[in-house]
Structure 1
Amino acid sequence: MCHLYSLTAYFFLSFLLFLSYFLALSLALFYLSFSLCKICMKFTSSIISLSRSYVHCKWIPMQILQKDERSQLKLRNFHSRTEDERLDSECCVSYRSHLFKRAYEYLVKWCSLPYADATWELTQDVDKDKVSEFKRLHTQPMFLKNLVRTPCFTVDHPRPPQKFWEKLEGPWKGRDGLTLRDYQLEGVNWLIFNWYHRQNCILADEMGLGKTIQSIALLSEMHSAGVQGPFLVIVPLSTLGNWVREFSTWTHLYTVVYHGSKASRQVIEEYEIFLRNNGQIIPGMCKFDVLLTTYEMVLLMPPAFRHIKWRCTIVDEAHRLKGKGCKLGTNLSNLTQEFKVLLTGTPLQNSLEELFSLLNFLEPEQFDSEESFIQQYGNIETKEQVQKLQLLLKPLMLRRLKEDVEKDLKPKEETIIEVELTDLQKKYYRAILERNWGFLKQNKSGQLPNLINILMELRKCCNHPFLVQGAEEVIVSQLRTTLDPLSPDFSLQCLVQSAGKLVLLDKLLPKLKHGGHKVLIFSQMVRMLDILEDYVSHKGYIYERIDGQVAGDRRQEAIDRFSKPDSQHFLFLICTRAGGQGINLTAADTCIIYDSDWNPQNDLQVNGALTNDL
């Protein structure tokens, strides 16, 4: 009996131990799944596992989440957002049959999410309009089984002969009845003429005249003429979202955006690029009409892209190709390209060497010697030499200015304001110029500016002395004697009183705000944008910001929020190099260039952002 009791007790204790382990594991899994949940919507919240899409969210009352301490941080983060998460599907990428459920699944690309987050969804869980659009773009020919493809690629149509060229008359109508302006239609005719006559070209209209729309219309006309891709369009990251929107607004071309992380690019390469038969790539056959990508992605393109015969290549802001040994130009030259179009509002910036780089990319056989080109046109001094260069460029380049094509435009006013340095700036400016280490190392941390590039340090000092390494600590301690350190706006006054430009800006912005203006502020330095962001936050202005650290889709979302008719956004802080090329910010009427670029052409690009909607 004793043995029986001990055996019973052993099994009973074992059962209790197993039950305790099971409960502990269940609680751990519950906590882990809860930590991976995502809160969305405005007054209610939804919970979603990271392995599934947003359509499988579950609604949970706000009262329940407010009682759970672990949800408080998620709730605060949610309420700090300016907009709700979008749960809409963007497009269907591929499909497959479900073995167990005897149904079809679609690979869905979701709005605001990269391709890496695409999920397989059953037909009933996908927007019917997206499924219909997918079936329209991906029909299956009767003679090829298990192959998803666009019917236009069944035959490789050659470029039409020159004799078939006809000038487009009347208003050119795009999708939903949109029409081009007369001068834009003239530009499209010029592009099509060059295409028929096998002449690569440069569309060099001034910023804001609609080079994007004209080039999209060119691809649409090529598609209608039987040459239905593939087309390659390379743009700056800051304009990628706008190009996507313009393609969807003006045409029905199947456009794929090749951009994102390595995982996203792998999804694109597997499902969006090449036609496959039983899983094997069919050489020379592509699923898309237009591949839209950025400069950086061109450098990361896989070798398989070199085997594609690109019927047309368009490079936006093509002055990026300037300079010897440009990696972008080298990589593009390795591609098979039938027709090339360069878009730039500033074809000639600093020297004729840069112009030669563009011409050499367009016609490497005609412009093969830079030395010979510079010898002929490098020292233009007479009217005859200018006319000779114009005669050379006439068949290759179309250049028009706003005042030539738009007579109703209001004249743009430009004011240059000379600002005096504050006393603090003058002291630091003199110390940097004289390499006065005793003055510069007054801070307790021992930080010193790098005086290898004195010109850059002087420029920082002129923008704001806080940009000088170690200066902020010393300046704030000095201002404690002249300003009230207990004042709630002490930090704001330190920012403003330290820099002459910010003193002027502090006087100017309230007047612009009162007058109902919307303002763009450009700066070359990201750290200067940080200081300006601190300033506008203290002042309570509603603003947006774009710099090199802001992802492409977030840039377009920021532009959209700023450009809404009922938007309360007053300011847009922009890094000149990251967001100064080709963006459309026509909602603003005032542009402040906080610090000018060494290259004045970049400042012209910035000014073009205000009138980029023609």
Structure 2
Amino acid sequence: MRRSGAPSQLQGNMTKRMRFVPPGAQRLPPGRSPTTPENSPLPLQPKPTLTNKVSTVQMPVSGRVCESRVSGALARVLSVVPVSEKTTDTSSEGEENTHTHVTDEESVENTLPPQPQARQSQPISTSPTERYFSVMWCKASNRKHKRWEGDAVLVARGRSVVLKDMEGKDISRGSGYKVLELESLAEGETLKVSGKEIEVMGVISVEDYATGRCFQEVSTVTSAVPALEATVARATAKAFSRPSLKGGVTKPREVQREIQPRHNPNAPGALVMPRPPANHQWLWNKGGLQVVDVVMDSHLTNHLRPHQREGVIFLYECIMGMRLSGRCGAILADEMGLGKTLQCVSLLWMLLRQGPYGGKPAITSALVVAPGSLVKNWGAEFNKWLGRERLRVYMVDQDHRVEDYVASPVCPVMVVSYEMVLRTASLLQKLDFGLLICDEGHRLKNTHIKTTSALHTLSCSRRIILTGTPVQNDLQEYYSIVEFVNPGVLGSAAAYRKIYEEPIIRSRQPTCTQEERSLGEERATELSRLTGVFTLRRTQEIIGQYLPGRVEWTLFCRPTPLQTSLYTHLLSTRAVRACLNASVPHLGTHSPHLACISALKKLCNHPGLLYNTMKESTEGSVCEGLSAELFPEAYSSGRFSTDESGKLLVLCDLLAAIQHFNSTDKVVLVSNYTQTLDVLQDVCAHLGYTCCRLDGSTPVAKRQSLVESFNKPSSAHFLFLLSSKAGGVGLNLVGASHLVLYDIDWNPANDIQAMARVWRDGQRKTVHIYRLLTTGTIEERIYQRQVCKQGLSGAVVDLGKGADHISFSSEELRDLFTFEPKTTCLTHHLLGCHCAGDGAIPSLPEEETTVGGRACQLGRRADSVSAPQRVSMSELMQCGHYSGDKQSYGDAYLDHAHSHITYAFQSMSINMQHST
């Protein structure tokens, strides 16, 4: 027995199974609509003439009235709908009483939506290979009254079935069924599956299963178009009537004054927000207040570019709950330099002053959470666009505490760092913020960290995440930031993992089947559809037309003889051999594999870094097999030479050329390691270059002033040494027009953010970016992984930010610990490109070939340099290729350093390509 009132997911509550169901019982009789009571009499109908075919009915006009009652009774008994009166008699050609009629009842029936089929109708039609059913399940028992446990999805294939719960988890399997038994499954029928009993509720289409919609318990409106187009009629209480005064005279009722928008919506260039639809008014305007246009202040509108105007409208619709019913969160995932801060400042100023109902402000206060180095930057942005006289901003620092703000919250906007949120979470919970903005929101990529938990406790449903990299490591982290802005929109974490993450991951594996690939693509499309309603992503191509040109170079630097010798010895040490022979489940902080990788990366930067590690090494460390005899004698005195690092030689030549050709240009030098910055700072001091430095040891209070001082044209500093970990995000270093990324990170997002520091609003010169790699080493392998990760464009990536989340297979690890000292560019070789290396953009191969052998970072591996392999790296095939033996790169700075470069890739911004 079914549970009382248990609705079917497909067709609503089913009626009791009938003993006899004639053909065509699923259609309604003419004249009976879905809302007509079952016992009400039918309108008069003509009596049909039954023939050997039910589809042929003749209607004599003269017998229309007298036969109608018989026809209606016959239809009620047999549940047969009289077939359309729009017929043509073909049994007797030329007969005079042959007519074609279209009655009013038929026209009404043709306009009705399809009606649910009767319970015992035709078996559910499904695909010939797999069929999907919506079912209820319970533990198998002989009890008359079943205790249904819940809803589930049944997947039938051949003679086996799989039962999945609403989170996509397999809860039971069964096999050995008769093929006919599974093919004839119909609604209302029962089936036993491994100790569980199920009852079929309805059919699930192949599309709904492929996209995962069948697992969504609550359907969400994923369009900005309102669900209710007509004006919602609401019953209102009778207005209060004042008792009459003496003589029966009443005071006339005051006419309500019409509220005008705060700014003129008809002004030229006015930015007017969309009006709330009818369903939004029903939910949010309970008092029936007048709907007023929300117009952006012209003081800000004049500074907004077209993509920023669109961004403000998008954020307004999300925050006001117009794009997703009942949810008020948004993710602004624009790339760096598109003005995410300005868009949020404009939105805040607008919501603090006006709203759509009665002209009242939509919010009264807001909280902005940012990295510690960007707190003052946010305050400077508010002052830049609004001025101190329009809006007061409270920035939490050493002199301004959260306790003081809680005691007297006079400022409508507070800016605080993530670290301070952890310390003062209990105080912030006492405040009622109308809007929460999290800058660099990818910090909330883990739902279990304390920062995310502290922000979740704040009583604020309107939330915005700003991030240039919405997907950094994997889809589980993407789920965390989506869950933060719109809780529950993707279901539970377990359901998300089973329904979306695991199928997408399997579809990206080289060994996946065609069925797994198709399912993964469908689930990825559905995930993009669900989250695309409140996620806005624009690339730097939009802002490229407003900025000067940008030339980006990837330079492969020849290792010096000392680096080549040390690299070979390091790979033969006992620690590296043990790493290759051991299983590699995960690379943690104290993993020996990580120590080996770090030692190789230090050697690529400069042998002096490896020498310092060797002196501090203990028994069993990675440098145990190295001796001081491998290093020059000068190392014992602590003196290092610039001639011992291939990348350092290229850097010195670049700096000399930049200062020689344009003495007013400045350079930003970025590294991931403070030890490397120490070496670079010593080199700059030795060569006489003035520089300033920002790393993790720089006080937060001094960072913004350091940036502003460097950006001034009168600054005496030629170089800005920057740690990508401390200042790689949010900083505007537009005072420099050259940027050198000295070493490479596992996560391409970190490198992209660091390289975007100089190509931003305010830049007036053509930007030159140089990324340095040591040819044939682990750096080139990491770069190959970066290119593949970027090419997936939002798919699952397997390497994370920092080393704590790195994991490899044994085959991938062997590729990392290989060295190709004779190659000019292993990456170009793996492309299978046969260009002349003269800077021309090569053509993409028509078809990629698959060659046997173990996988490498690019998907395939060449066992030797003489066996070229083609890999899928179309991004690099769109760059200019320059061989190291070419005397000219078309770049005056690189031409001065070409003797130490083995190969180079060049890419340019769109406006630069048009100008050239």
SS of the aligned residue for 1:173 comes to: helix
Q: Give distance in 2, aligned partners of 1:579 and 1:165.
A: 43
Aligned to 2:653: 507
How far apart are 1:390 and its partner, in Å? 2.6
How far apart are 1:322 and its partner, in Å? 0.8
Call closer, same or farther: CA 1:384–1:480 in 2, change over 3 Å.
closer
SS of the aligned residue for 2:652 comes to: helix
Structure 1 residue 307 and structure 2 residue 430: aligned? yes
Structure 1 residue 268 and structure 2 residue 401: aligned? yes
Equivalent AA in structure 2 for residue 319 of structure 1: H
How far apart are 1:302 and its partner, in Å? 4.9
Structure 1 portions without partners, runs of 5+: 1-157, 276-285, 438-449
SS of the aligned residue for 1:310 comes to: coil
How far apart are 1:454 and its partner, in Å? 1.0
Q: Deviations over 1:263-303 (max 9, x none)?
A: x4xx624534323xxxxxxxxxx222111111111111152
SS of the aligned residue for 2:541 comes to: helix
Call closer, same or farther: CA 1:475–1:507 in 2, change over 3 Å.
farther
Call closer, same or farther: CA 1:259–1:431 in 2, change over 3 Å.
farther
How far apart are 1:195 and its partner, in Å? 2.1
Structure 1 residue 316 and structure 2 residue 439: aligned? yes
Call closer, same or farther: CA 1:178–1:237 in 2, change over 3 Å.
farther
Q: Which of structures 1 and 2 has the bigger CA Rg?
A: 2
Call closer, same or farther: CA 1:271–1:307 in 2, change over 3 Å.
closer
Equivalent AA in structure 2 for residue 389 of structure 1: L
Call closer, same or farther: CA 1:407–1:302 in 2, change over 3 Å.
closer
SS of the aligned residue for 2:657 comes to: helix
Aligned to 2:179: none
Aligned to 1:193: 317
Structure 2 portions without partners, runs of 5+: 1-282, 322-326, 355-360, 505-516, 576-591, 616-626, 763-916
Aligned to 1:243: 378
Preserved CA contact (<8 Å) 1:521 1:573: yes
Structure 1 residue 354 and structure 2 residue 477: aligned? yes
Call closer, same or farther: CA 1:597–1:384 in 2, change over 3 Å.
same
The correspondence of residues 268-287 of structure 1 with structure 2, limited to 5 A, is 268-275=401-408, 286-287=409-410
Aligned to 1:603: 751
Equivalent AA in structure 2 for residue 238 of structure 1: S
Aligned to 1:291: 414
How far apart are 1:427 and its partner, in Å? 3.2
Q: Deviations over 1:454-508 (max 9, x none)?
A: 11111111111222254798979965689xx9xxxx95xx331222211111111
Q: Give distance in 1, aligned partners of 2:703 and 2:750.
A: 19
SS of the aligned residue for 1:337 comes to: coil
How far apart are 1:406 and its partner, in Å? 4.5
Structure 1 residue 495 and structure 2 residue 633: aligned? no
Aligned to 1:207: 336
Structure 1 residue 580 and structure 2 residue 728: aligned? yes
Per residue, is there more helix in 1 or in 2? 1
Aligned to 2:531: 393
Aligned to 1:456: 598
Preserved CA contact (<8 Å) 1:191 1:218: yes
Aligned to 2:587: none
Equivalent AA in structure 1 for residue 716 of structure 2: Q
SS of the aligned residue for 2:395 comes to: strand
Aligned to 1:543: 691
Structure 1 residue 419 and structure 2 residue 557: aligned? yes
Q: Deviations over 1:143-162 (max 9, x none)?
A: xxxxxxxxxxxxxxx98789
The correspondence of residues 402-441 of structure 1 with structure 2, limited to 5 A, is 402-404=540-542, 406-435=544-573
Comparing 552-561 with 311-320, greater Cα deviation is found at: 552-561
Call closer, same or farther: CA 1:163–1:400 in 2, change over 3 Å.
farther
Preserved CA contact (<8 Å) 1:172 1:180: no
Aligned match for 2:305, one of 154, 178, 181: 181
Equivalent AA in structure 1 for residue 601 of structure 2: R
Q: Give distance in 2, aligned partners of 1:519 and 1:326.
A: 37
Q: Give distance in 1, aligned partners of 2:634 and 2:402.
A: 63
SS of the aligned residue for 1:417 comes to: strand
Call closer, same or farther: CA 1:428–1:391 in 2, change over 3 Å.
same
Comparing 409-418 with 329-338, greater Cα deviation is found at: 409-418
Preserved CA contact (<8 Å) 1:310 1:337: yes
SS of the aligned residue for 2:679 comes to: helix
Q: Give distance in 2, aligned partners of 1:349 and 1:165.
A: 41
Aligned match for 2:741, one of 587, 593, 597: 593
Structure 1 residue 534 and structure 2 residue 672: aligned? no
| Identity across the alignment (%) | 32
Equivalent AA in structure 1 for residue 382 of structure 2: F
Preserved CA contact (<8 Å) 1:159 1:196: no
The answer to which structure, 1 or 2, has the higher relative contact order (CA under 8 A, 6+ apart) is 1
Call closer, same or farther: CA 1:583–1:360 in 2, change over 3 Å.
same
Q: Deviations over 1:234-286 (max 9, x none)?
A: 111222222111111122322111133xxx4xx624534323xxxxxxxxxx2
Preserved CA contact (<8 Å) 2:375 2:416: yes
SS of the aligned residue for 2:707 comes to: helix
Equivalent AA in structure 1 for residue 526 of structure 2: K
Paired positions, count: 421
Aligned match for 2:498, one of 361, 375, 387: 375
Equivalent AA in structure 2 for residue 312 of structure 1: L
TM-score, reference length from structure 2:
0.43
Preserved CA contact (<8 Å) 1:584 1:609: yes
Aligned to 2:28: none
How far apart are 1:339 and its partner, in Å? 0.9
SS of the aligned residue for 1:360 comes to: helix
Call closer, same or farther: CA 1:470–1:546 in 2, change over 3 Å.
closer
Equivalent AA in structure 1 for residue 345 of structure 2: I
Structure 1 residue 340 and structure 2 residue 469: aligned? no
Preserved CA contact (<8 Å) 1:273 1:287: no
Equivalent AA in structure 2 for residue 570 of structure 1: F
SS of the aligned residue for 1:331 comes to: helix
SS of the aligned residue for 2:335 comes to: coil
TM-score, reference length from structure 1:
0.63
Call closer, same or farther: CA 1:312–1:533 in 2, change over 3 Å.
same
Preserved CA contact (<8 Å) 1:559 1:585: yes
Aligned to 2:19: none
Preserved CA contact (<8 Å) 2:741 2:755: no
Preserved CA contact (<8 Å) 1:310 1:338: no
Call closer, same or farther: CA 1:182–1:160 in 2, change over 3 Å.
farther
Q: Give distance in 2, aligned partners of 1:344 and 1:369.
A: 23
Structure 1 residue 520 and structure 2 residue 646: aligned? no
Q: Give distance in 2, aligned partners of 1:184 and 1:514.
A: 39
Q: Give distance in 2, aligned partners of 1:320 and 1:189.
A: 25
Q: Give distance in 2, aligned partners of 1:321 and 1:257.
A: 21
Q: Give distance in 2, aligned partners of 1:269 and 1:236.
A: 16
The correspondence of residues 157-168 of structure 1 with structure 2, limited to 5 A, is 164=291, 166=293, 168=295
Preserved CA contact (<8 Å) 2:352 2:365: no
Aligned to 2:34: none
How far apart are 1:578 and its partner, in Å? 0.6
Q: Give distance in 2, aligned partners of 1:470 and 1:203.
A: 44
Q: Give distance in 1, aligned partners of 2:722 and 2:628.
A: 27
Q: Give distance in 2, aligned partners of 1:235 and 1:455.
A: 32
**Aligned-residue CA RMSD (Å):** 3.2
Call closer, same or farther: CA 1:604–1:166 in 2, change over 3 Å.
farther
Q: Give distance in 1, aligned partners of 2:732 and 2:633.
A: 43
Q: Deviations over 1:153-186 (max 9, x none)?
A: xxxxx987898474647x8424xx9622222122
